[in-house]
Chain A
Amino acid sequence: MTRGTRQPPRPTAFLNARLIDPTSGYDGPGGLLVIDGEIADLGPDLGRSGLPADAIEINCNGHCLVPGLVDMRVQLREPGEEHKETIATASEAAAAGGITSMVTLPNSDPVIDQVAGVEFIARRARETKGTKVYCYGAVTRGLEGQHIVELGLLAENGALGFTDGTKAVASARVLRRAMSYASTFDLLILQHPEEPDLASGGVMNGGELATRLGLPGIPRDAEVMMIERDLHLVAMTGARYHVAHVSTADSVAAIRAAKARGLKVTCDTAPPYFILTEAEVGDYRTFAKLSPPLRGESDRAAIAQAVADGTIDAIASDHAPHDQESKRVPFAHAEFGIVGLETLLPLSLELVHQGRLPMIELIRRLSTRPADILRLPQGRLAKGAPADLLLFDPEAKAVIEVDRFRSKSKNSPFDGRPVKGHVLRTLVDGRTVYEAYA
């Protein structure tokens, strides 16, 4: 082992920061000390009684120092579609976006439905040495909706939860068995909430615009129907259930009621659903083709409200990189999804700048809650916690420019959008994985 001979990294002290930690509820001035990849000390008085003699001191100039973002839903395209994204490029993009942990969906090629797939992701993540990368396992073999995978074994090897990715588990019988089995090990089941038969063939939100454009629509009800069915299964099985990317007001209402009934249900959304509407599709803009589709204004407002009041637990990037060839085609043939790693923070900050929720609550949605749901130790500023940190300036003005994305793919409807919020530094286990040039 050469490790013992290597010089240990020097302690680093972040001083003059605005510390924000949703777990303790602290939002105020202070400093934070990192030793050996962990948070060794923190608080308003850090440094007054002295720091380790060899500590590197970093002046944060009053900027926000928060737990690094935990992105609970990304598609990394590796293995299988490395021309769109790799774990390395996604990791670089994530670091630039302040994301210190991310979880990839199992819809790669091959599908992550075996232990070898989970191990592959873990190995590639180790080699990349950037952002922490985890994965979900498929619920069903080959995402075919028929036979449940070895949930226990996959979880033992590191799968954080189970989902058929961008496809719903359509069969109530199969999902009931998956939930029932998963509850034995207290595993998390995540669902893409869309009744596939009702949504079949649809390419955008069903409504006036789809009619005008002559495009087949996906009814809003396809989402809440699937959620309500699943909630019955949750009640039957007692499983831990998470609804991915909620996009309609009715879905929010159903989840709110289920939480009030004490069901173990959580959910997330992504920035496009509280910022954009279907109007973005405009003249067949495929960059606005998402799954679930962008909805109308009343749904958008309901999603923003549900993020603010906590019904929506987490905000994920829903990163879905696609190359030009997958998007520069007639709308019906274009792939669903947009890239999101580098825009997650500034877009989410719009809720804070609009006065809809305090900064500490936004950090809870972006970091602490997803970490809780995934049962990861990060997502908090506490002694002994991993030093996964994000330093950012919430007021810095910027313009989203896709050409500057580190992600291999550039499919974003937010290109050219003025935003406020700039990542200054990202640390994973105390290592700086991204640093903005002043």
Chain B
Amino acid sequence: MTRSTERPAPLSFRHRHLLGIDGLTRDEISGLLDLSESYIDRMRQKEKGSLLLGRTVMNLFFENSTRTRTSFELAAKRLGADVVNMQVQASSIKKGETLLDTAITLNAMHPDVLVVRHPDSGAVNLLSQKVDCAVINAGDGTHEHPTQALLDALTIRRRRGRLEGLIVAICGDILHSRVARSNIHLLTTMGATVRVIAPPTLLPAAIEKLGVKAFTDMRKGLEGADIVMMLRLQTERMQGSYVPSIREYFRFFGLDYDKLGAAKPDALIMHPGPMNRGVEIDSEVADDIGRSAIREQVEMGVAVRMACLDLLTRSLRDNLGS
């Protein structure tokens, strides 16, 4: 328990929930990353802490995601929390009232933290208004996926020592990507230069107003990039006339050594996973140990989620202490 004094306190964090990166300040993001850093060693030592002993973390997933759910589960358990996983069938949430009914039901069970993934943008915000506990957005529709952006930032910061001044190229289905949105908010706030690269059909309207530069030519977009962040292309997009075919997509927007040549020689390759090899990324590139940070991203995910759980439950512990 004495370890708690060692944890660096974020300079400020004035939010009850973590619903997105949009709206967080530079100090808040830095604080979260610093706190995450402090959890890396303990996570690697598989040490089970007691910070959240007696606390309940509920993973409420309205959409399948084994990786993110497991990462949150591990993070919570390593802090000593009790974890409950709830997988809600997508069909039963077609009627919106189910979401609020669920909120009322959950509230009656008194969890301390709700980790929520939902296929609709804004659904996690709506839920957070109806529950008394802290809520972490584990991905809502095409809106935000804040912990993914934080773990990406932590990975970059550890490899490059900073975020400010870096050129980060995010490539792929920007239109439907919550990962892209959260990363855009985080990286631009931290002073990085962000480019997005996609066919015009997968670029959202007015994306430049989010402070990024848009490219439809991958080589031009990758020119001089420090970081190349690839996004997953959902197979349904290929059927929805967003792109003509997989092979056409891979030819112009898939990451291979040829296109990567435009980026800086030591450019770091990232991907939120799971990857479509041969669709958005060439296997060789994905498995290049020297350049790919993909495995490290997964590892950082647990540390970041431990930090988020720690931060959002501080007030609970403070109240208990007083």
Interface residues of A (CB under 8 A from B): 206-208, 210-215, 217, 219, 283-284, 325, 328-334
Distance in angstroms between the alpha carbons of A334 and B123 in the assembled complex: 11
Q: Are B206 and A208 in contact (CB under 8 A)?
A: yes
Tell me if B54 is interfacial: C-beta within 8 Å of chain A.
Answer: no
Contact with A along B61-104 (1 / 0, CB 8 A): 00000000000000000000000000000000011110110000
Tell me if B118 is interfacial: C-beta within 8 Å of chain A.
Answer: yes
CB distance from A275 to the nearest CB of B (A): 23
Partner of A333, one of B120, B142, B181, B206: B120
Contact with A along B112-150 (1 / 0, CB 8 A): 000000101111011000000000000011111000000
CB distance from B212 to the nearest CB of A (A): 11
Q: Are B204 and A211 in contact (CB under 8 A)?
A: yes
Chain A residues in 8 Å Cβ range of B96: 325, 328-330, 333-334
Chain B residues in 8 Å Cβ range of A284: 121-122, 125-126
Closest B residue, CB atoms, query A285: B122
Distance in angstroms between the alpha carbons of A432 and B156 in the assembled complex: 73
Q: Which of the listed residues A206, A212, A325 has the most CB atoms from chain B within 10 Å of its own CB?
A: A212
Partner of B140, one of A207, A208, A212, A214: A214
Q: A329-B96, A330-B96 are in contact. Are A213 and B210 (CB under 8 A)?
A: no
Q: Are A212 and B22 in contact (CB under 8 A)?
A: yes
Q: Which of the listed residues A207, A210, A217, A331 has the most CB atoms from chain B within 10 Å of its own CB?
A: A331
Distance in angstroms between the alpha carbons of A419 and B96 in the assembled complex: 33
Tell me if B209 is interfacial: C-beta within 8 Å of chain A.
Answer: yes
Q: A325-B97, A330-B120, A333-B96 are in contact. Are A214 and B206 (CB under 8 A)?
A: no
Q: Are B122 and A212 in contact (CB under 8 A)?
A: no
Partner of B126, one of A214, A325, A330: A330
List 20 other contacts, CB 8 Å, given A217-B204, A329-B96: A206-B205, A210-B204, A212-B22, A213-B121, A214-B141, A214-B142, A214-B143, A215-B121, A217-B205, A283-B125, A284-B121, A328-B97, A328-B126, A329-B126, A330-B121, A330-B141, A331-B120, A332-B122, A333-B94, A333-B120
Distance in angstroms between the alpha carbons of A215 and B100 in the assembled complex: 20
Tell me if B178 is interfacial: C-beta within 8 Å of chain A.
Answer: yes
Contact with A along B10-51 (1 / 0, CB 8 A): 000000000000100000000000000000000000000000
CB distance from B279 to the nearest CB of A (A): 22
Chain B residues in 8 Å Cβ range of A217: 204-205
Tell me if B202 is interfacial: C-beta within 8 Å of chain A.
Answer: no
Q: Are A331 and B205 in contact (CB under 8 A)?
A: no
Closest A residue, CB atoms, query B123: A330
Closest A residue, CB atoms, query B22: A212
Tell me if B192 is interfacial: C-beta within 8 Å of chain A.
Answer: no
Distance in angstroms between the alpha carbons of A208 and B143 in the assembled complex: 13
- A–B complex contacts, Cβ < 8 Å, 15 sampled: A207-B205, A211-B204, A212-B181, A213-B122, A214-B141, A214-B144, A215-B143, A217-B204, A217-B205, A325-B97, A329-B95, A330-B99, A330-B118, A330-B120, A334-B96
CB distance from B231 to the nearest CB of A (A): 14
Chain A residues in 8 Å Cβ range of B142: 214-215
Partner of B181, one of A214, A328, A334: A214
Q: How large is the interface on B (under 10, 10 to 19, 20 to 34, 35 or more residues)?
A: 20 to 34
CB distance from A157 to the nearest CB of B (A): 38
CB distance from A38 to the nearest CB of B (A): 50
Distance in angstroms between the alpha carbons of A27 and B289 in the assembled complex: 83
Distance in angstroms between the alpha carbons of A207 and B100 in the assembled complex: 29
Closest A residue, CB atoms, query B127: A330
Closest B residue, CB atoms, query A203: B121
Of residues 189 to 221 in B, which have CB atoms within 8 Å of A's CB atoms? 204-207, 209-210
Distance in angstroms between the alpha carbons of A174 and B123 in the assembled complex: 39
Partner of B205, one of A211, A283, A333: A211
Q: Are A332 and B205 in contact (CB under 8 A)?
A: no
Q: Are A332 and B120 in contact (CB under 8 A)?
A: yes
Distance in angstroms between the alpha carbons of A331 and B141 in the assembled complex: 11
Closest A residue, CB atoms, query B203: A211
CB distance from A330 to the nearest CB of B (A): 4
Distance in angstroms between the alpha carbons of A208 and B100 in the assembled complex: 28
Partner of B97, one of A215, A329, A332: A329
Chain B residues in 8 Å Cβ range of A334: 96
Q: Are A332 and B206 in contact (CB under 8 A)?
A: no
CB distance from A65 to the nearest CB of B (A): 46
Distance in angstroms between the alpha carbons of A283 and B95 in the assembled complex: 21
Closest A residue, CB atoms, query B206: A208
Distance in angstroms between the alpha carbons of A334 and B99 in the assembled complex: 13
Q: A212-B181, A214-B143, A214-B181 are in contact. Are A332 and B121 (CB under 8 A)?
A: yes
Q: Are A329 and B99 in contact (CB under 8 A)?
A: yes
Q: Are A208 and B120 in contact (CB under 8 A)?
A: no
Distance in angstroms between the alpha carbons of A219 and B206 in the assembled complex: 11
Q: Are B209 and A331 in contact (CB under 8 A)?
A: no
Chain B residues in 8 Å Cβ range of A210: 204-205
Chain A residues in 8 Å Cβ range of B206: 207-208, 211
Chain B residues in 8 Å Cβ range of A328: 96-97, 100, 126
Q: Are B181 and A331 in contact (CB under 8 A)?
A: no
Q: Which of the listed residues B22, B95, B118, B141 has the most CB atoms from chain A within 10 Å of its own CB?
A: B141
Distance in angstroms between the alpha carbons of A211 and B95 in the assembled complex: 25
Distance in angstroms between the alpha carbons of A334 and B122 in the assembled complex: 12
Chain A residues in 8 Å Cβ range of B209: 208, 211
Q: A206-B205, A213-B143 are in contact. Are A331 and B122 (CB under 8 A)?
A: yes
